[in-house]
Structure 1
Amino acid sequence: MIEIIYCEKLIIAFIIGTVLFALSTHRLFSLVKTVALQSFLVSTLTIVLEGGDITTYGLIIALSTLIIRSLFIPSFLVYATRRGNIKRELNPLIGYRASLLFGLIVIAIAYIWSGYLDFDITKKLLFIGGMTLIIPALFLLMARKKAITQVSSYLMLENGISVVGLMIGKNMQYVVEFGILLDILICVMLMTILINQINQLYIPEDRKKIEK
């Protein structure tokens, strides 16, 4: 039990680190890789907590996080970033230092709030991790303009919902269903990005001259 709590603390610490990095970076490629690593850590957290007694819903969360959020969607985001030659987000609505400060404040509030909850240490850690993912993800959705960042923020939001689902336990099936809806939304956003880039790639020559 002590080893599980230690591993949980370590994984959640790394997850919080990815959140702070995502809030402070302006490089889109680094953001995508960070969120992919974050999704992998959430999947690892699910397996560590459930161990040999992992439920069907826990297994669904772990596998969906590992395959869809760690590999499939980030690969599309990297492809879209390279194809569109979009490397940085230079003019966010809220600056990167202010974003990082906001993230630190959220972590502090989540830690203090967890002290007032009648949970065991495991659920308190999951609460801190979940809030640290969900609130900054919503913040990034409002504070950034690029579509790549928006999709990455939705992935972060999904990871937060998955962590909260681990805390809820028995009602995890509803969390899984909501996560699937978010996955569908992300896929639609990815298709929109790719179609938009294809349209720009195959603009007729006369239209290109007019736009110039």
Structure 2
Amino acid sequence: MIEILYYEKLIIAAIIGTVLLTLNTHRLFSLVKTIAVQSFLVSVLTIIIGGGEITTYGLIIALSTLVIRSFFIPSFLMYATRKGNIKRELNPLIGYQTSLFFGLIVIGIASIWSGYLNFDISEKLLFIGGMTTIIPALFLLMARKKAITQVSSYLMLENGISIVGLMIGKNMQYVVEFGILLDILICVMLMTIIINQINKLYTTEDYKKE
């Protein structure tokens, strides 16, 4: 149990690190890669917390999520980025330094809030990880304009929901994970439509600034 808690702390800390990177990066390739790493960490966290009690069904769901969110979707987004010749998120609605500061505030509030909850240490860590992933993801959805960033933020939101699912309980976790897979399937379908609109969002003025 102590060893699992140790690895859980490391992974939650790494996930929070990826959240801060997404808030502070303007390069879309870096953003997509960071989300891919974050998705991988969430999937590994699912397997570690399940430990020896994880069922075959749960393992299949966790591995499926890992493959889809860590490899398939990021590859698709990177292809869309190359296809649309988009390199950066220029002129965001909210600046990067302000976004990073917001992320740090969310981490602080989540940490303080967890101290007032009647949870064990593992659940408190999951609460902090979930809140510091979900809230910044919603923030990015409002603060950024590019379609690639919007979809990346959506995947980040899915990661946060997965972490909260782990906190709720093992059985609920698999229900949440299955729903997430369905949401990602819809996301992929929507991306086929969004790709045709990417160049419209990327103006001639943006090209000149690069």
Question: Which residue number corresponds to residue 190 of structure 1?
Answer: 191
- Indicate the structure (1 or 2) with the bigger Cα radius of gyration: 1
How does 1:101-140 map onto structure 2 within 5 Å? Answer: 101-140=101-140
Aligned to 2:5: 5
Partner of 2:176: 175
Residue identity matched to 1:73: I
Residue 197 (structure 1) shift: 6.4
Residue 22 of structure 1: aligned partner = 22
Q: How far off its partner does 1:83 sit?
A: 1.3
| Unaligned residue ranges in structure 1 (runs of 5+) | 200-212
Are the aligned partners of 2:46 and 2:166 in contact in 1 as well (CA < 8 Å)? yes
Alignment of 1:26-105 (within 5 A): 26-56=26-56, 58-105=58-105
* Aligned 8 A contact 1:134 1:160 in 2: yes
Write out per-residue CA displacement over residues 6-40 of structure 1, whole angstroms, 9 at most, x where no aligned residue: 10000000000000000000000000000000000
Rounded Cα–Cα distance in structure 2 between residues aligned with 1:45 and 1:81: 29
**Rounded Cα–Cα distance in structure 2 between residues aligned with 1:146 and 1:64:** 28
Question: 1:122 Cα deviation (Å)?
Answer: 0.5
1:148 and 2:148 aligned: yes
Deviation by residue 1:34-56 (Cα, 9 ceiling, x = unmatched): 00000000011111111121135
Residue aligned with 1:163, SS: helix
Moved more, 164-173 or 126-135: 164-173
The number of equivalent residue pairs is 199
Q: Which residue of 2 aligns with 1:207?
A: none
Gaps of 5+ in 2: 201-210
Q: Percent identity?
A: 73
Alignment RMSD: 1.8
TM-score of the superposed pair, with normalisation by structure 2: 0.89
Tell me which residue corresponds to 1:203: none
Q: CA deviation at 1:195?
A: 4.0
Change in CA separation of 1:22 and 1:89 when aligned onto 2, cut-off 3 Å: same
Q: In structure 2, what is the Cα distance between the partners aligned to 1:126 and 1:167? A: 6
* TM-score of the two chains, using structure 1 as the length reference: 0.88
Counterpart contact for 1:133–1:160, Cα < 8 Å: yes
Q: Deviations over 1:46-92 (max 9, x none)?
A: 11111121135632442232111000100010001111110001110
Q: CA deviation at 1:175?
A: 1.4
Amino acid at match of 2:91: N
State how far apart, in whole Å, the 1-side matches of 2:97 and 2:73 are.
28
Asked if 2 retains the 8 angstrom alpha-carbon contact of 1:93 and 1:144, the reply is: yes
Q: Distance in 2 between matches of 1:17 and 1:198?
A: 31
Shift of 1:196: 4.2
